[in-house]
Copies of this chain bind each other. A is one copy, B any other.
Amino acid sequence: MAEKSSELKLLSAWFSPMALRAKIALNIKGLEYENVEEDFNSKSHLLLRSNPVHKKVPVLIHGEKSICESSIIVQYIDEVWSNNNAPSILPQHAYDSAIARFWVSYIDEKLFVCAKNIQDAGKSDEEKKPHSEQLEEEMLVRLEEAFNKCSDKKPFFGGNNIGLIDIALGSFLPVLGLIEEINGRMVLVEDKFPGLINWAVNFAANPAVAGTFPEIDKLILFGKTLLKKMGYCL
């Protein structure tokens, strides 16, 4: 049964891949929520009060409770709404959950850090090059292999349904679009990453995901101008 929207509030930013994760998890569970767009020039009292340690989006506010950090929010949503007929986001078996958490940690600690280095306005093209190579020759190669293992010829890392890895990596797709624009060429190409290409198409078309991605043109404009000025990185 859908929660009343007054019960669930997401402090968010339209360009944030981490907020995107929370939105997709809420959609998977069919939960109504109020999306509260934060202004980074003037963070709201609600954000500062509900995430005093990091002062960052996303924050899920569930009644009187605040839950911070994207992967923790996704697991919270999965645990609280485990019996509402929507598919599970975490696998059922402990080993599969450990594998999912492993790749989420890889995506957070390696992939997003690498993307940040590529997008860093302060770095020269020469400085960005090893990071681009690392992304294309190592990280996406590993994730292609992981997809083939985890999906077992089904559409998603999570099998027939979107799971924890799908959400974590799926939130990277708009960032990848931005990197492709910065590099002036495609990165996720079919001959190198046939599994990930199919996965990305299926992911973006899934009802829980469709409509959640930021408009790519708006994101590119934002990525090239405002983020540089503000010192933020996607």
Contacts and interface: CB of A to CB of B under 8 A. Distances in A.
A67 interface: yes
Interface in A67-84: 67-69, 72-73, 75-76, 79-80
B94 A76 contact: yes
Contacts of A69: 101-102, 105
A205 interface: no
Contact of A97 (B68, B79, B105, B142): B79
Contacts of A101: 69, 72, 75
Contacts of A76: 94-95, 97-98
Which of A65, A79, A80, A95 has the largest number of chain B CB atoms within 10 A?
Answer: A95
Contacts of A98: 67, 72-73, 75-76
A193 interface: no
A53 interface: yes
Contacts of A65: 95
Across the A-B interface, give the 4 residue pairs with the lowest CB-CB distance, nearest first.
A79-B94, A76-B98, A72-B101, A80-B94
23 contacts: A53-B102, A53-B106, A53-B142, A62-B95, A65-B95, A67-B95, A67-B98, A67-B102, A68-B102, A69-B101, A69-B105, A72-B98, A72-B101, A72-B102, A72-B105, A73-B98, A75-B97, A75-B98, A75-B101, A76-B94, A76-B95, A79-B94, A79-B97
Interface of A: 53, 62, 65, 67-69, 72-73, 75-76, 79-80, 94-95, 97-98, 101-102, 105-106, 142
Given A53-B102, A67-B102, 9 more contacts: A53-B106, A65-B95, A68-B102, A69-B101, A69-B102, A72-B98, A72-B105, A73-B98, A76-B95
